[in-house]
Amino acid sequence: MRWMWHYRTLIDRGIPAPAHSDRPVCSPNPWLGIYDLMTRKTSSGDALYAGEWITPMEAIKAYAIDGAHSVWEEEIKGSIEPGKLADLVVDRDPLTIPVDDLKNVEAVITIVDGRVAYR
């Protein structure tokens, strides 16, 4: 586990650091992963390499554009821009809520390829 999740080091060195859910081993909920990247806490509450925590925007970027970059699709997805695929979930502004509330974010609407897929 010594080399696990060194996101701060990767980001500081300019290396894209995509995040993932590692499904089916853990929850597919990206907000739990974003919470983990920001707090570095294990399920028991202990800090895991606390110096490797990242900011909310860096964590979202890891799941969005860095994820798209990792599969060479950043030109068509990974950010909200005209002409890109609109695959996104809207719930609340993750940059303005307390970090612990990220674990409770739920999808209220899901848009896939520009169409509402879940409401």
> Would you say residue 27 lies in a domain?
yes
Asked if residue 90 has pLDDT above 70, the reply is: no
> Would you say residue 57 lies in a domain?
yes
pLDDT band at 89 (very low <50, low <70, confident <90, very high): low
58-65 mean pLDDT: 92
Rounded alpha-carbon distances, angstroms, from residue 111 to 74, 75, 84, 89, 114: 18, 18, 13, 6, 6
Number of domains observed in the structure of the chain: 1
31-57 mean pLDDT: 86
Asked if residue 95 has pLDDT above 90, the reply is: no
> Would you say residue 14 lies in a domain?
yes
75-79 mean pLDDT: 90
Cα–Cα dist 92/55, whole Å:
17
Asked if residue 55 has pLDDT above 60, the reply is: yes
> Would you say residue 2 lies in a domain?
no
Asked if residue 92 has pLDDT above 60, the reply is: yes
> Would you say residue 1 lies in a domain?
no
| Domain extent at residue 65 | 7-118
